[in-house]
Amino acid sequence: MVSGSRASFVRGTGIIAGTMTDSPLVLVTGSTDGIGRETARQLVRRGARVIVHGRSATKAAEAHDELQALGGRPQPAPVVADLASLDSVRGMADELLARDEPLQVLLNNAGIYARERKLSEDLLELTMAVNHFAPFLLTHRLLPALQRAGGARIVNVSSIAHTRGTIDLEDIQLTHGFTHYGAYAASKLANVLFTVELAARLGVGITVNALHPGVVSTKLLTQGFQMEGHDSPAKASETSVFLALSPEVEGVTGQYFSHSKVAPRSPAASDETLCRRFYELSCDITGVEPLPA
């Protein structure tokens, strides 16, 4: 675990002192719809300032305006980027770095479920491109802002589906035997492998954790899985908010959570060689300079 000064958390207001400011700055990707939007609402209710991200400028502006009304004060300007484009991700990161403000929490929430094998702008299998390579690149590009914050947190929204995923380092593009569920499960396993390896490489200063949000009737679930969920958006946002703000997890890193508790993760996440090789492969694909092992 990472050691650090204790913080106080006033439940109901979300005011944090110590390693975070009274109004921590949080970037929530995919916060114009579904769980991401509800997560943004809950964070603002607890005193955070939330940077909305979406693919549509119109929807991002609408979500931003809603958060301002909900919080009763100005919120940071939203950002727009298509996570299926690595250049678009780089542009968003550059825009955020140019604001020159410490980022207390990066919440990688955005995700897709593609029922057919498609390629991204960068000719990457689309599900893995959006669900893993985009947050992988964004996280590394935003490290300077996270490092300036002191005690910053990276939260990666994975899924219980990761326990059924497999990563084939020789066929990361899934050119053989593609199935839509297999691609999704692999991308969610990628989130956990990335979490474990990044936590080990970052060491003291920034924590990294992954989570299963629950099963809620978001667009991803109804259009991708073609089923309805039993959790409400508010319930599904709880673990993300907990990992973003709660002092109970200060210094906890490299873990996988469900229902705001550490939960069993895929045995693959304990394979140090797989975690390292997948991290290095992701660096090659995204053009990221690997952090020291």
Angle at 172 between CA 157 and CA 290, to 5 degrees: 70
Give the dihedral sign, CA 89/70/236/264.
positive
Q: Does residue 184 have an active-site annotation?
A: yes
DSSP state of 268: G
DSSP state of 259: T
Q: How far apart are the first and last CA of the chain?
A: 17
Give the dihedral sign, CA 6/143/191/85.
positive
41-58: b (≥16 Cβ within 10 Å) or e: bbbbebbbbbbbbbbeee
Tell me which of 113, 181, 184, 279 is the catalytic residue.
184
Specify which residues 66 forms β-bridges with. none
Distances (CA, A) of 284 to 136, 137, 172: 12, 11, 12
CB 25 within 8 A of CB 48: yes
Task: List residues with catalytic annotation.
Answer: 184
